[in-house]
Structure 1
Amino acid sequence: MLRLYLSDLDGPSKGSQQEAQTLLAEVRRAVQASQRCIVITGAGISVSSGIPDFRSPDGLFQQLKQKYPNSVSTGKDLFDATLFSDPGMISLFYSFMGELRNLVSRANCTPTHAFIKELDEAGKLLRCYTQNIDSLEKRIGLETSLHTPVSESLDSPDIASTPCSSPPSLASDCSSLDTEDSALAVAEKKTLAAKRRIFRRRQMTLDRTFTRAVQLHGDLDNVVCTICHTKYPFTEKLAEEFCEGAPPPCPRCKEIEMIRDLVGKRSVASGVLRPDIVLYNENHPQSELIGTLSEYDLKRRPDLLIVIGTSLKIPGIKRMVKEMAHSVHACALRSKRAGAGKVIFINRDEPPKGWEDIFDYYVAGDSDRAISLLPIASSPVSLPEPTAALLPIVEIDVTDSPTPPAAVRRQRLPATKRTTKIAAVPAKKKSKVSLSSLLAPTNSRVGVARKLVTSGAVAKPDRKPRKLTSMLKVVKSSATAKRQQKTLPRSPSSPVMSPS
């Protein structure tokens, strides 16, 4: 794992500056060469918007410990599911959640959120997985819903008149209570409920590419009932009730209890409203859907993973980061040659022990500054402006002479006269064949001679056709010469082998 400290970019030492610039260039290349990026964020990216993180020295856990020293041993206690067994902790939890909701409603998106949105607009973002509950990803334009509503026409009037996204109406509850003794009404009620369940499954479908940002720990936009699981918007009025420290009752459970009391039925359990977030030691209600999306992203073979602003303390996040990093390191060889296939960790604090083989680069510093140094698209190469000395412009005035002149002027004309000019490129003249080329030691003497003849430099010799009688004489004279050589006596100078 290579470490890039942003403070070294402005440091006094030139050696550290050059080394930091080299590492920064490699990180930039990884971001620009990537095509399928996954981003995992934590509370550190929202610090500049006014929302404190959790585990830093001035984070949320330390603030809660200082604010409630007698009730809270560690700030983590207010985010544990076991707090609902202690009435005192429940009061602190609701008052703190009301204050946190008001703080989140006034927060603005940070440059890091804008960087994630820019990745999505550039077509490089596979998905963003965030641990934050501030919903700033949704405000910047990233879809956070895990379901896609499908609009379809319904033939049954009973189903069409009953929307599945809203809780059952009180009128249906009253009619069901009044006709509970009727067997026919009970059968109709079961049939209608079955149709509603079927329509709910058809209406809400999982689109693996629809969700752009997955909120792993829920959000503060809604509250949910602890009994009937009905969701309501987290309004300012509810936030004021939360700040008082008393959990508000669920409106639907309260109305059902009132109706049952009027008709003489026994009372049932009534729920209270709580923030729609996931606490420690609590199962995620949509864990299966999130697991399906993460498995789908792993199959798409991402080539870049950026982890920003998290301390990597939660076991689920640690496992997700390791699986994503393994998939990124196993990406295509073509992506690795381009500079991608890297895992980048951006945080103020260093990662815990055991992450040296997981992360390729650790960028130490503020996330907003680190992101500002990582452009998504590569900057175009700036070329020098063309000048008359480097690129001569050949122009011919067609208005003055119908035919182009022999000597073409190589100068730049005013812009007002360029409209009537036509750029022309003088044709290359063929090189003349010299007589000295025949004496060069080449194998193309025959070709050169033919070029000389065709160009007129050398006169073509007059050749007369040979007669048949002359050809026979030449053949006869050659045969006679061979016969005479055989009859000649041996030269006395030739050595003669004598017997010893």
Structure 2
Amino acid sequence: MDKLKSGIEQAVQLISNSRCAIALTGAGLSVASGIPDFRSPGGLWSKHDPEKVASIRALKADPATVWNFLIDAAAMIQSVEPNAGHEALAQLEKSGGIHGVITQNIDGLHQRAGSMNVIEFHGNCSKFYCMECFSPFPAQRITPQVDLPVRCPQCDGVVRPDLVFYGEQIPQEAYKAAFELADQSDLVIVAGTSGDVVPASLIPPRIQDAGGKIIEINMAPSAYTSLSDVCIRGRAEEVLPAIVQNLS
């Protein structure tokens, strides 16, 4: 029996025996949809300095430059669709195989695939509000033709996406919801995240410390590899549907 098949069978067994399983996902899950992993060769950080285009300091000091980047990033995200990995997690939730998804992604693809209980740890790039008066700003007004930086019609403050920039804290609501869900869970499926970014990276070991299990699905070794009860080397968009198929 090859390692991939064995790993899928072990994952199916753990999910079948779990009381409350969840998924933790990262950028690697959306690569098959056409969104490059930010940190990989060809990713956004190989073309842009995150301190200049994705930090709260840059947004305050040079909002036009940040907005030029945001327009490009938003256009890329809007042009893609959920892949089989997103769809498999939505099916798992519908069947009771998992109870929710905690994602570090800002692309909204989990919801578009049909997942209902999604905690967006780093926010969502399709929601906007004014930095000064906090009024919501309609996403449909964000077009390549809009004057940059985008400004609030109420107070002329700079509009920003409702996501976490470098130098900002995780929103308390998302942080609280994620760790409350983790504390109810006895199994976490890690898919497409290397475990390099805290505090999201603390969730799997927290579950394991409480007696839970970790299933890792990644193309390359990660911070979770030495901790994982089941480690599957493969593409999430292929492995997750195989797990769902074997569960049915």
State which of 232, 235, 248 in structure 2 corresponds to 1:366: 235
Secondary structure of the residue aligned to 2:196 is coil
The answer to whether 1:92 aligns with 2:76 is: no
Partner residue, 1:375: 244
State which of 114, 118, 129 in structure 2 corresponds to 1:213: 118
Pair 1:43–1:35, CA change in 2 (3 A) = same
1:98-117 aligned at under 5 Å gives the runs: 98-117=71-90
- Contact kept in structure 2, 1:61 and 1:76, CA below 8 Å: no
Q: Distance in 1 between matches of 2:204 and 2:178?
A: 11
The answer to whether 1:119 aligns with 2:92 is: yes
Letter in structure 1 aligned against 2:102: Y
State which of 26, 41, 47 in structure 1 corresponds to 2:31: 47
- Contact kept in structure 2, 1:226 and 1:273, CA below 8 Å: yes
Pair 1:292–1:281, CA change in 2 (3 A) = same
State which of 133, 150, 166 in structure 2 corresponds to 1:280: 166
1:247-262 aligned at under 5 Å gives the runs: 247-253=149-155
Pair 1:322–1:342, CA change in 2 (3 A) = closer
Secondary structure of the residue aligned to 1:252 is coil
State which of 292, 310, 317 in structure 1 corresponds to 2:200: 317
Which of these two proteins has the greater Rg computed from alpha carbons?
1
Q: Distance in 2 between matches of 1:378 and 1:283?
A: 38
Partner residue, 2:222: 351
1:170-181 aligned at under 5 Å gives the runs: none
State which of 178, 181, 206 in structure 2 corresponds to 1:294: 178
CA deviation after TM superposition for structure 1 residue 241, in Å: 4.5
- Contact kept in structure 2, 1:133 and 1:219, CA below 8 Å: yes
Q: Distance in 2 between matches of 1:325 and 1:129?
A: 16
- Contact kept in structure 1, 2:28 and 2:37, CA below 8 Å: yes
- Contact kept in structure 1, 2:26 and 2:103, CA below 8 Å: yes
Pair 1:294–1:104, CA change in 2 (3 A) = closer
1:197-233 residue CA offsets vs partner (Å, 9 max, x unmatched): xxxxxxxxxxxxxxx0011111122211011111122
The answer to whether 1:82 aligns with 2:57 is: yes
1:477-492 aligned at under 5 Å gives the runs: none
Which one has more relative contact order, counting CA pairs under 8 Å at least 6 apart? 2
CA deviation after TM superposition for structure 1 residue 78, in Å: 2.0
Letter in structure 2 aligned against 1:62: S
Q: Distance in 1 between matches of 2:187 and 2:64?
A: 44
The answer to whether 1:238 aligns with 2:142 is: yes
Task: State the identity as a percent.
Answer: 25
Pair 1:35–1:220, CA change in 2 (3 A) = same
The answer to whether 1:222 aligns with 2:122 is: no
Letter in structure 1 aligned against 2:37: D
Name stretches of at least 5 consecutive residues in structure 1 with no aligned partner: 1-16, 65-73, 144-211, 254-269, 331-340, 380-500
Partner residue, 2:106: 133
CA deviation after TM superposition for structure 1 residue 43, in Å: 1.0
Give me the TM-score of the superposition, normalised by structure 2.
Answer: 0.89
1:401-420 aligned at under 5 Å gives the runs: none
- Contact kept in structure 1, 2:195 and 2:201, CA below 8 Å: yes
Q: Distance in 1 between matches of 2:153 and 2:94?
A: 41
Pair 1:26–1:125, CA change in 2 (3 A) = closer
Letter in structure 2 aligned against 1:78: V
Q: Distance in 2 between matches of 1:115 and 1:275?
A: 28
Q: What is the number of equivalent residue pairs in this alignment?
A: 248
Q: Distance in 1 between matches of 2:36 and 2:227?
A: 27
Pair 1:99–1:291, CA change in 2 (3 A) = closer
Q: Distance in 1 between matches of 2:95 and 2:246?
A: 9
CA deviation after TM superposition for structure 1 residue 120, in Å: 1.3
More strand by share: 2
Partner residue, 1:271: 157
Give me the TM-score of the superposition, normalised by structure 1.
Answer: 0.46
- Contact kept in structure 1, 2:20 and 2:187, CA below 8 Å: yes
1:381-439 residue CA offsets vs partner (Å, 9 max, x unmatched): xxxxxxxxxxxxxxxxxxxxxxxxxxxxxxxxxxxxxxxxxxxxxxxxxxxxxxxxxxx
Pair 1:273–1:304, CA change in 2 (3 A) = same
Q: Distance in 2 between matches of 1:378 and 1:371?
A: 11
Name stretches of at least 5 consecutive residues in structure 2 with no aligned partner: none
Q: Distance in 2 between matches of 1:76 and 1:345?
A: 30
CA deviation after TM superposition for structure 1 residue 53, in Å: 1.4
CA deviation after TM superposition for structure 1 residue 356, in Å: 4.8
- Contact kept in structure 2, 1:35 and 1:123, CA below 8 Å: no
